[in-house]
Structure 1
């Protein structure tokens, strides 16, 4: 087991990729704090499952758009679990697919507030703790939308491009403090959010998109979790400031 005795705060940990990462880290010895926004029952269920593995686990409600809530989530993790070694940040909002011309300004801004400002809000208190405690790992889930510039996804492209820039800046600033910061850029992944989007697009568009992926299928959340585990483990100790695309080759088609 590669993370024995480590403590990880996992945002968006009650579903999708975050849920898979929580289970994967726990299976490899990590104690887990799951930060959720609305899925309380699911978060508590995951906590129970992790405890059955013999790990410590807690669930924390926080809206990362609110800096004080994000800061409190970090402090609760430290107080209740005894520290914080790894941040796995996968909290993200659902994209509303519209052209820039047809987008609702308030919804657009709220998405960026959630996905970009929310990332800063959780990064800063985590990094301040790690700076005082001999370093740590930060792994943020991004999207190939940052590079593909898909039509009708200006909010995703803008927010995730900003996140990836922040990952690189943070890595450069904190490398000498042994804080390693990396991102995982995902494509179409088999999560609730993706399935909701596919329903909006319809069966014909869905099949076209999936067939266009070189590996011919969506990613499974567990495949993203494997990369997160690698970056969190000793195997990733000489990697920082990188964005790893785990997308079945989807980006090379775009």
Structure 2
């Protein structure tokens, strides 16, 4: 059992839900962070089965520092400590080419994802320092290593999140704090599942599948397993890294 609770920002999303379920049996508790739909967070908890007693739903609006601090405070009060902060939140976006992205679209995704992550960092670091332990794991994108046209709106803020993760690793390691990231490839969960159904033709997706070394799209559990590893004590000497989980798509 890892020390403290796991706090999952974006715990009601496709990947966030898988992560919550994966972590529930390995941590002293799980906080399912939601922005505006507590019912969805409670549904995630109900689906945990025997481990649902160790989970709570907490408000965590990335645009509101007070909401973030309140969620962290509720988690600490319930479980005593936060051992890992998982950042799986984000904006539901389409895949426009750079020439078609408006300034408002850029502002929205950067405000919610990149600036939102800075708010998470600012609110969490004092607790990690006081404890003398804790780690961040952020879900980013394989597009920063193998760029598919139309993915700039998603990949640009996540590149910033990766850079911030490395900064945390370098500057906060002396306090026992780690920071890593997981970069999913084409995943049949969350937005990825929507894209597989509504974006491009079946023929295009089949050609993409054949580009993947393992010849299949990823599942939500593939990302959850990677997040669970980096968050756990098994990765206690790993920090400042990005684990690419794409079945060999970027090779």
Asked whether the two chains share a fold, i.e. TM above 0.5, the reply is yes
Is 1:111 the equivalent of 2:116? Answer: no
- Aligned pair 1:181/2:176, yes or no? no
CA RMSD of aligned residues (A): 1.8
Q: CA deviation at 1:208?
A: 2.0
1:164 aligned partner: 162
Query: How many Å separate the matches in 2 of 1:204 and 1:228?
Result: 31
Whole-angstrom distance in 1 between the partners of 2:99 and 2:233:
47
* Selected match of 1:85 from 83, 99, 106: 83
Deviation string 1:100-136 (CA, Å, 9 cap, x unpaired) is 2211221222012122111111122111210111121
Unmatched 5+ residue regions in structure 1? none
**Segments of 4+ moved more than 6 angstroms:** none
Alignment partners' CA distance in 1, 2:51 and 2:76: 21
Residues 28 and 79, structure 2, Cα contact 8 Å, conserved in 1: no
Using the size of structure 2 for normalisation, the TM-score is 0.92
Query: What is the alpha-carbon distance in structure 2 between the residues aligned to residue 133 and residue 17 of structure 1?
Result: 28
Instruction: Quote how far apart the aligned CAs of 1:39 are.
Output: 4.0
How many aligned positions are there? 250
The answer as to whether partners of 1:95 and 1:153 remain within 8 angstroms in 2 is no
User: In the alignment, which residue of structure 2 is the partner of 1:200?
Assistant: 199
Matching residue of 1:134: 132
For the residues of structure 1 that align with 2:82 and 2:179, how far apart are their CA atoms? 15
1:7-18 → structure 2 map (5 Å cutoff): 7-18=5-16
Q: 1:51 to 1:216 in 2, by over 3 A?
A: closer
Q: Structure 2: which 5+ runs fail to align?
A: none
Partner of 2:234: 235
Instruction: Summarize the Cα distance change of 1:139–1:235 in structure 2 as closer, same or farther, 3 Å threshold.
Output: same
The SS at the match of 1:250 is coil
8 A Cα contact 1:145 1:160, kept in partner: no
